[in-house]
Structure 1
Amino acid sequence: MASLYPLVHSQQLLQRLLALNKPKSLAPALHYCYLVGGHIQTRGTDAEEPFRQEANFKWLSGCDVPGSALTIEYEHEGGDQVDPSRVHTRLWLPDVDEAEVMWCGLPPAPEELAKSLNLTSIQRGWTPAALYPPKPQADVPTFLHTLPLVSPPTTIMARINGPKHTTDYLEKALHYARRYKSPKEVELMTKASEITAGAHKNLMRLVGSGHVSDENAAEAEFVSFCRRNGSKHQAYSPIMAAGTSAGTLHYVDNDRPFPSEPTLLLVDAGADYNCYAADVTRCIPLGNGGRFTKECKEIYELVLNMQYAAFEQIKPGANWEQIQRLMHDVLARGFLKLGIFKVDGAREEEAVRKLLDSGLTSAFYPHGVGHLLGLDVHDVGGLPDEGRHKTDPLLKYLRLRYPLEEGFVVTVEPGCYFNEHLFAPFKNSDMVDHDVLARYRYVGGVRIEDNLLITADGFRNLTPDWLPKTVADVEAVTTGQSA
């Protein structure tokens, strides 16, 4: 079995640690990283929750055994480059608990894990005190790197004679390093996308044929397909929002029957494959013989135009904030054409500028154009907490504030929603034709989402092209004209 997690992940992390800690990191030093994996959580007395390994630990170790620990020891000789021959990664498995074996079976043995995990060593048995480094040489400083909330006992710090313990760098270095997906990670994400696409297309068939008639059954069919095809978990709680429910961005109740009048079912759901996420959204016609109504089709095609406009901009170096502004621009022009927006006496360019300056488009498209994707569905490294745009309604919820680079995987998910709460600040706006708007409210919401790997000259769409997306292709499935 090929190695899933080569040592390059540890090297990438250390390279980032050195970059964050200059100029001190240029001098010789012992860098020591200590991480603890996730533990099984219980509900009530002893009902075990499904276990998913902590993402940073998974990325560095590849290990899914609860209660494990990982140490990375690097004897840096100086300079700004990492010497791979001096990196030692050690995985520490918990001791076998004989009482637990009866309930859960034997955990994997170190020699079994070694067949697929490329680490310096794997062994059983550990305690926190035993995993910290020995007393360092007097002339070589030691940096103990841990994640926040992890602090070595004072007795250990005294024993190893004053190394510098810091939480300033490890988490940030992990977030930077995890942005760049290795070929193996891309392979796993491609598999997750294929399973996800199959589940979406299967659901289109079932909804179109009338075999599914409520949100709960839609979720059950989606999850069942994923389970049958190798995905044990969902990457996030599926969104099965019919009609006006789709105006709530993260609607996860999934407990209502489909409306009796024609509308749409917004399906935002993705498989988890070996802890890697897919995140895909499609919309399915409800009623009307499996075809989009006039208003549903118009909004759906507008959102599809938004996505295509984003695709034209996506390549290394592309500015995500500019793409986000472009989405608002395309939405504004689309709404002007449909008659939902009106700016009396203004030419189109002036009208669009006034609409964007007013923030009105954010009432219909409040979220960001997409986010990083990986071990977490909203993956780390997007710098979403930078505060300089928190007051700009067009950029307020943008989860990626960093130029695109080769190796990133991003979602592209423009949308359009009819939500009374979002629209409330503009309910008296003279730039809205309220009578025309009323004709579209039943649409609820439309979002279209694919997963893109940024390549040297553009991108590769990990979402298979056989998953229907155009109106014609979706209707071909929902009306039974294509398999």
Structure 2
Amino acid sequence: MFTKDTYTARRRQLKATVNQGLILLLGNEELGMNYRDNVYHFRQDSSFLYFIGIDRPSLVAVIDVDNDKELLFGNELTMDDLVWTGPKETIRDQAAKTGISEVQPLAALDGLLKAAQAKGQPIHFLPPYRADNAQKLSDWLSIPYAALKSKASVTLIKAVIAQRAIKAPEEIAEIEKAIGITVDMQLEAIRSAQAGLTEAQLAGRVHGVAVSSGGNLSFPIILTVNGQILHNHYQDTVLKDGQMVLCDCGAETPLHYAGDLTRTFPVNGSFTPVQRSVYDIVAAAQQAAIDALRPGMLFKDVHLLACEKLAEGLRDLGLMKGDIKEAVAHGAHTLFFQCGLGHMMGLDVHDMEDLGENYVGYTDTLVKSTEFGLKSLRLGRALEKGFVLTIEPGLYFIPELMDAWQAAKKHTDFINYDKVQAFRNFGGIRIEEDFLITEDGSRLLGKPLYKTASAIEALK
């Protein structure tokens, strides 16, 4: 938990922006793995953490903007609970640390909400992403379950995003802790990889670094020799000499701030000449994107710049041809780069995406594309000082996509399909780092991690 002043200032700003009514912030519940009492590792809702700061299940906060009141609802542990959990700090004591003085049992919440509805007081809530919280909202507010997302408060969504998007110094410090742990996770993966090991065995070692740091994973580890599958999680596939491993992983600190890094490395410590050529293309595209980061720059334009650099490298390799700007404008490069260049990061590894990509990454005037490739660009809006985001270009050789496009004679003015087919078993390469947008550019967050082909090889 940060200081009391941090949370009271955040709520004060939120009240000033929302301006009227009740703000309803739901914490998360514990969820059973295979029966109710055998629970998954608890993860608190990120917006609840941001404004309330209490990392504990079964809590709801109400901010009464009209009467300038803040209330926390939750049930204290009973003696039966304590037998299983041991003594824990009371909700009232935790609430005091975050600047909330009024605590009531959960049973009192329904009456408060019904009274507010009877008075015609607006009740603002965020779109629920968990079924149990959605059901609660449906019951409390008499809104059909299927209609909840459409009834969520756009005013509150925009207010939350406006605050959470700009990272305060204490948040940046916490993110850098997460990235530091993530660097250690990547080093464990690179140094431990060897022929005969399975993806799962390697991923287990990486996971252990995150847990032993006192935190956990910010998302399930992506670790695979089939790097052309964008989110391919580890399996029992055995690593072999000559293959590359793509490892995309992130640590989450005890305060739940995220890191997110990707490296692609050879199993036996040496890239083949072709692997190194493709790796260098991705590295050059990433550097071009990094150099373009600054406040006021549309991230969509940074993405397209990286696409052009990838396409230039592919043309030099003989896989693409023709005018590069025209090729990118037509989407020909998406045979090799099907996703977006990056995303916001903070309390969530894809920060605030439960609130809607159209609000987080776009604006009322900049609308998300529906085109293949661009539709997967999560962030397009102009960058602002204080944003934290990832830069993660890649090249992915997907045999099924190659075959479909070649059969359809798609973009034949820009793609040399006879050369492309030689790469159908290549896999994929991604390089990813995390950046803070500064007053006049950007800053790499966390301790540096080797990323040139030669430096990656030297780690073995």
Question: What is aligned with 1:228?
Answer: 212
The answer for unaligned runs of 5 or more in structure 1 is 19-29, 77-86, 156-164, 344-350, 479-483
Decide whether the 8 Å contact of 1:263 with 1:442 is kept in 2: no
1:354-412: per-residue Cα shift (whole Å, max 9, x none)? 42244220010010110111122111265258895533334221101211111111111
Greater helix content = 2
Counterpart code for 2:435 = L
Distance in 2 of aligned mates of 1:254 and 1:122: 49
1:207-241 CA-to-partner distances (Å, cap 9, x unmatched) read 2xx3872211111010111112222x211110111
Q: Label 1:189 to 1:88 Cα distance change in 2 as closer, same or farther (>3 A).
A: farther
Q: Among the aligned pairs, what percent are the same residue?
A: 28
The 5 Å alignment of 1:311-390 reads 311-343=290-322, 351-380=323-352, 382-383=357-358, 388-390=367-369
What is the CA–CA distance in structure 2 between the aligned matches of 1:124 and 1:96, rounded to whole Å?
A: 13
Within the alignment, does 1:278 sit opposite 2:259 as a pair?
A: yes
Structure 2 gap ranges (5+): 128-133, 143-150
Where 2:262 maps in the other structure, the secondary structure is: strand
Matches within 5 A, 1:150-161: 150=137
Deviations 1:15-73 (A, max 9, x none): 4324xxxxxxxxxxx53212221111113323211110112211111111110111212
| Cα deviation, residue 300, structure 1 | 0.9
Q: Distance in 2 between matches of 1:435 and 1:182?
A: 51
Check whether the contact 1:365–1:416 (CA below 8 A) recurs between aligned residues.
yes
- Specify whether residues 389 and 170 from structure 1 end up closer, same or farther in structure 2 by C-alpha distance, changes over 3 A only: closer
Select which of 57, 73, 82 maps to 1:66.
57
Provide closer, same or farther for how the CA distance between residues 327 and 59 of structure 1 changes in structure 2, counting only shifts above 3 A. same
Task: Give the corresponding residue for 1:455.
Answer: 438
Cα separation, partners in 2 of 1:254 and 1:365, compared to 1, 3 Å: same
Q: Cα RMSD between the aligned structures?
A: 2.8
Counterpart check, 1:89 vs 2:70: yes
Alpha-carbon distance between aligned partners in 2 of 1:147 and 1:286, rounded to the nearest angstrom: 45
CA deviation after TM superposition for structure 1 residue 142, in Å: 4.2
What code does the residue aligned with 2:14 have? L
Residue 202 of structure 2 is matched in structure 1 by 218
The 1-side partners of 2:336 and 2:141 are apart by 54
CA drift at 1:189: 0.9
| Aligned residue identity for 2:57 | P
Structure 2 Cα separation of the partners of residues 215 and 236 of structure 1: 17
Is the CA contact (8 Å cut-off) linking 2:368 and 2:380 kept in structure 1?
no
Match for residue 402 of structure 1?
381
Q: Does 1:202 align with 2:188?
A: yes
> What is the rounded CA distance, in whole Å, between the counterparts of 1:55 and 1:411 in structure 2?
19
In 1, distance between residues paired with 2:204 and 2:140?
48
**SS, match of residue 122 in structure 2:** strand
CA distance in 2, matches of 1:292, 1:227: 31
Matched, 1:123 2:103: yes
Give the deviation of 1:111 after TM superposition.
5.8
When residues 135 and 57 of structure 1 are mapped into structure 2, their CA distance, relative to the original with a 3 A threshold, is closer
Query: Which of 13, 27, 34 is residue 44 of structure 1 equivalent to?
Result: 34
Q: Which residue of 2 aligns with 1:392?
A: 371
SS of residue in 2 equivalent to 1:187: helix
From 90, 94, 97, the counterpart of 1:113: 94
Identify the residue that residue 162 of structure 1 maps to in structure 2.
none
Aligned pairs, how many?
A: 429
* Mapped contact 1:38–1:54 kept (Cα < 8 A): yes
Partner of 1:159: none
- 1:8 maps to 9
Residues 430-453 of structure 1, C-alpha deviations (whole Å, 9 max, x = no match):
643344334434331011111111
User: 3-state DSSP class of the match of 2:425?
Assistant: helix
The alpha-carbon distance between structure 1 residues 109 and 364, as it changes in their structure 2 partners (threshold 3 A), is same
CA distance in 2, matches of 1:198, 1:211: 21
Q: Helix, strand or coil for the counterpart of 1:256? A: coil
Q: Which amino acid aligns with 2:245?
A: L
Compared CA separation, residues 230 and 69, structure 1 to 2 (3 A): same
TM-score relative to the length of structure 1: 0.81
Aligned pairs for 1:118-197 (under 5 A) are 118-121=98-101, 123=103, 125-127=105-107, 128-132=109-113, 142-148=121-127, 150=137, 167-197=153-183
Shift of residue 129, structure 1, vs aligned partner: 2.8
**Preserved contact between residue 221 and residue 234 of structure 2 (Cα < 8 Å):** no
